[in-house]
Structures are given as structure tokens and as C-alpha cells.
């Protein structure tokens, strides 16, 4: 198991025996690593083997994207983990509709003020949340609101993208733009980003 | 049901941590293996890797994947001595 990065790349790009040997070695190593990575999740061998198979196809497809800035096997493992956790999330959420998630999501600031905290702190928190609510209502598009709320409700990004007929990169841009609008809005209203973060429980 | 206190707090945190320019999940994946190796070796991270660190602070899915990678590298290192 002492292949260096160049050797992996050369052999995987070859035809014939060298490639078969490299693929077999990579499959074994990924299976071992993925089993380790997912030891906290309940998955069986068939799941792991399918995920490794998908990963191998992806890797062969993207060999040109490997920049050699880490060990090849670490890079391959990071892809295997994305594939496997993506599959697990999809399985958990496949029967959940976006409408179902959003139907239960609203934004009612009064109910989330800590009644135990001093009156001054409660008033400040209420004012902050009121501003945030106004910004969500008036500064965000429906699509941005939908994506942001669904994400807060824990829906996986791939699932939200699928429901919106989009893809994960475009979804990221959508929610990033939404966050930027909210941040600018809060700053305009006198709330500095660092101060907002500083008041939150760790 | 509305957003819970925890969800509101995570929205505020996300907004507060938002930067003008951020990596998306695909860009994060391309760099996370290097980031994990350097973190594990206790080495400093370059500017491009600081963007990875920032993405991990706001993206729960990439963070979950990074933590799994980190645990794996640690375990492999231990097994291989
Ligand atoms: Zn991400």
C-alpha cells in the first residue's frame, strides 16, 4: 500500500492489468476507510460496497481534478464520504415533501424570547428578531425564503435542490445571496455581524 | 410549529458569519482532504484553506463529512502506526 500520488494516477489512467490492480487496491482501501468513517451510522456491507462502487466511477471521471495537494487516498476518501453520507441523507428524506417541511416552518419571534432573561435583554432580542423577520419578509425572494427555511429545518441541500428543480451549486448561491441580504439589512439597522454572533450560545 | 430557538439561533449565526465571497460545497470538497491532513499534522493553513475552515463553520453537511474524514484519518494513522 505504498503507492504515491503519481503512481495512482498513472496506473488508473492505464489500460489493462496495472489499472485493474490499482482499482482493486483502491476499492479495498476505500472500503476500509468508509467502514471506519461510517462506524457511527448504521449501515451494512451492501451499502458500503455500493457507495464504494459509485465513488470509483466518480473518481475515474474526475482524475483530472485531483491537484496532488493531499495524498490521493485521502482525496478519494473525502469523495467516498460525500457519496455515502449523501445517500444516507437521501434515504432519510426521500419521502418528505418540501411543502410538508415548509408548512411547519414559520417565523414567530415572540415565542423565542427567553422569558428567564432580564427584561432589557428580552427587549433587545425581540427587537433583533423583529428586524430579522421584516428583512426575511421584504428582502428575500420566495425562492430564497423557501431554500433558507428548508435548510434550517434540516432538509439536505441535494433534496432542496431537487425539489426546486435546481442543483447544489445553484442552491448554495441562492442561500448565500439570501444571507448576504439579511446581513446587510441587519447592519443597516445597526446590528454588527460580530455582535450578533457574540450574543449566541456556543 | 415555528422555527425553534435553536433554529433561529443558527439562522442568526449563519447570517453573522456570512462573507461576501465563500466556497460552495463542491469547491470545499476539492480542498478538504488537504485541509484535513494539515489539521491533523498540526500545520498552519494557507489562505485558500481558511476559506475551507469558514465553509465548514457554516455548512452542516460539509462539516459532518469533514468530521468523518478526520476520524478516519486518525484511525488509519493509528492502525498503520
Ligand atoms: Zn458545504
For chain B, what are the domain ranges?
23-80
Please list the pLDDT of chain B residue by residue as tens digits (81 residues).
367 888 889 999 999 999 999 999 999 999 999 999 999 999 988 888 999 999 999 999 999 999 999 999 999 888 876
Q: What is the DSSP string of A46-87?
A: HHHHHHHHHHHHHHHHTGGG--SSS-HHHHHHHHHHHHHHHH
Q: Write phi, then psi, for A168 (nearest 5 degrees).
A: -65, -40
Q: Which residue of A has its CA nearest to B64?
A: A85
Q: Three-state SS for A185?
A: helix
Q: Where are the alpha helices (DSSP H) in chain A?
A: 5-13, 17-37, 45-61, 72-93, 98-103, 119-139, 142-152, 157-163, 168-188, 193-198
d(CA A16, nearest CA chain B) in Å: 28
Ligand 1 is an ion; its neighbours by CB within 5 Å are B 25, 59, 62
**Which domains are seen in chain A, by residue range?**
5-93 (1.10.1740.10), 98-199 (no CATH)
Please answer whether residues A176 and A169 qualify as being in contact, where contact means their C-beta atoms are separated by less than 8 angstroms: no
Report CB contact under 8 Å: A89, B5: no
Residues of chain B contacting residue A129, judged by C-beta atoms under 8 Å apart: 8
Cα–Cα distance measured from residue A163 to residue A99, given in angstroms and rounded to the nearest whole number:
10
Render pLDDT for A59-94 as a digit per residue (tens, 0 to 9).
Answer: 999 999 999 999 999 999 999 999 999 999 999 998
Mean pLDDT to the nearest integer, A36-53: 96
Please give the share of chain A, as a percent, with pLDDT higher than 70.
94
A65, A132, A200 member nearest B30 (Cβ): A65
Amino acid at each position: 500500500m505504498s503507492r504515491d500520488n503519481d503512481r495512482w494516477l498513472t496506473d488508473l489512467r492505464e489500460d489493462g492489468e496495472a489499472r485493474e490492480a490499482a482499482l482493486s487496491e483502491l476499492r479495498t482501501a476505500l472500503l476500509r476507510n468508509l467502514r471506519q468513517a461510517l462506524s457511527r451510522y448504521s449501515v451494512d456491507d451492501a451499502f458500503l460496497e455500493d457507495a464504494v462502487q459509485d465513488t470509483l466511477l466518480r473518481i475515474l471521471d474526475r482524475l483530472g481534478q485531483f491537484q496532488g495537494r493531499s495524498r490521493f487516498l485521502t482525496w478519494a476518501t473525502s469523495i467516498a464520504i460525500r457519496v455515502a453520507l449523501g445517500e444516507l441523507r437521501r434515504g432519510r428524506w426521500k419521502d418528505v415533501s418540501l411543502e410538508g417541511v415548509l408548512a411547519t416552518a414559520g417565523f414567530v419571534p415572540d415565542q423565542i424570547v427567553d422569558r428567564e432573561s432580564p427584561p432589557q435583554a428580552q427587549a433587545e432580542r425581540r427587537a433583533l428578531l423583529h428586524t430579522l423577520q421584516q428583512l426575511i419578509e421584504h428582502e428575500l425572494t420566495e425562492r430564497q425564503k423557501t431554500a433558507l427555511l428548508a435548510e434550517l429545518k434540516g432538509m439536505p441541500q441535494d433534496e432542496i435542490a431537487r425539489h426546486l428543480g435546481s442543483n447544489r451549486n445553484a442552491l448554495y448561491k441562492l442561500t448565500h445571496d439570501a444571507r448576504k441580504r439579511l446581513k446587510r439589512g441587519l447592519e443597516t439597522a445597526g446590528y454588527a455581524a460580530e455582535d450578533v454572533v457574540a450574543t449566541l450560545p456556543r | 410549529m415555528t422555527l425553534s430557538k435553536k433554529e433561529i439561533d443558527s439562522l442568526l449565526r449563519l447570517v453573522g458569519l456570512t462573507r461576501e465571497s465563500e466556497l460552495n460545497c463542491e469547491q470545499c470538497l476539492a480542498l478538504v482532504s488537504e485541509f484535513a491532513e494539515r489539521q491533523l499534522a498540526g500545520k498552519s493553513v494557507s489562505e485558500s484553506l481558511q476559506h475551507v475552515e469558514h465553509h465548514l463553520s457554516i455548512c452542516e453537511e460539509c462539516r459532518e463529512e469533514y468530521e468523518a474524514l478526520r476520524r478516519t484519518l486518525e484511525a488509519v494513522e493509528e492502525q498503520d502506526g
